[in-house]
Amino acid sequence: MSFLQDPSFFTMGMWSIGAGALGAAALALLLANTDVFLPKPQKATLEYLEDIDLKTLEKEPVTFKAKTLWENNGAVIMAVRRPGCFLCREEAADLSSLKPKLDELGIPLYAVVKEHVKTEVKDFQPYFKGEIFLDEKKKFYGPERRKMMFMGFVRLGVWYNFFRARSGGFSGNLEGEGFILGGVFVVGPGKQGILLEHREKEFGDKVNLVSVLEAAKKIIKPQTSASEKK
């Protein structure tokens, strides 16, 4: 057992343990930056979206079915992860840049939030140029809600998104729930269906604006009958 008294033996042992720990950390970091452990989104059906209860944000809120938003003209709808998040504000501003083109097409732009905290929605409105409603049951974030917890802070894509939004001059706060991931929908009128469903895979994973416009242009408006014209 004389080798136990050799200082080099302990040095080698500590080096091996350290190398093993570094290797494990590197592997964990690598896996965290793949999509292996990301929650897989479950596609929503039109029937699922139609039946969602939404509320207006007035002092005396009115409850209505979500299908009211798109049943006549279709709609573009943002499910906001957290109104105070600077990444969400960036995406809201991006979508709002499409509003002139959406107005030309006669398609409204809406947003839903999952909670109404302090002045968060009011502070969000300068970034979003459409009406905002409350989805208390968080149905627009389903059918199966997906969360990104602290793993998000070791993802390179998230850090890139942080720097992109900060460089664009966006700022925010930490008020409210921000782990349940959001998304963007383009829904056609009547039973035309869901034309685009973007599910945020990580913090700051924005929808492609070209895809939103392409989907919006596919919206088929109901034909007005001759009797209705009269």
Which residue do the tokens 């604006």 mark?
Answer: 209
Q: How far apart are CA 88 and CA 141, in angstroms?
A: 14
Answer yes or no: are the C-beta atoms of 175 and 187 closer than 8 Å: no
Q: How far apart are CA 177 and CA 179, in angstroms?
A: 6
85 is catalytic: yes
Q: Which of 69, 75, 77, 85 is the catalytic position?
A: 85
Beta strand 63-65 with 109-113 is unpaired
Q: Which of 52, 66, 77, 88 is the catalytic position?
A: 88
Name the residue among 75, 77, 168, 81 with its Cα closest to residue 124. 81
Helix (H) or strand (E) holding 216: helix 209-217
88 is catalytic: yes
Answer yes or no: are the C-beta atoms of 71 and 168 closer than 8 Å: no
Cis omega (within 30 of 0) for bond into 143: yes
The values of phi and psi at residue 136, to 5°, are -60, -35
Chain centroid, CA 6 distance in Å: 58
Bridge partners, residue 54, by sequence = 64
Answer yes or no: are the C-beta atoms of 182 and 71 closer than 8 Å: no
Catalytic residue IDs: 85, 88
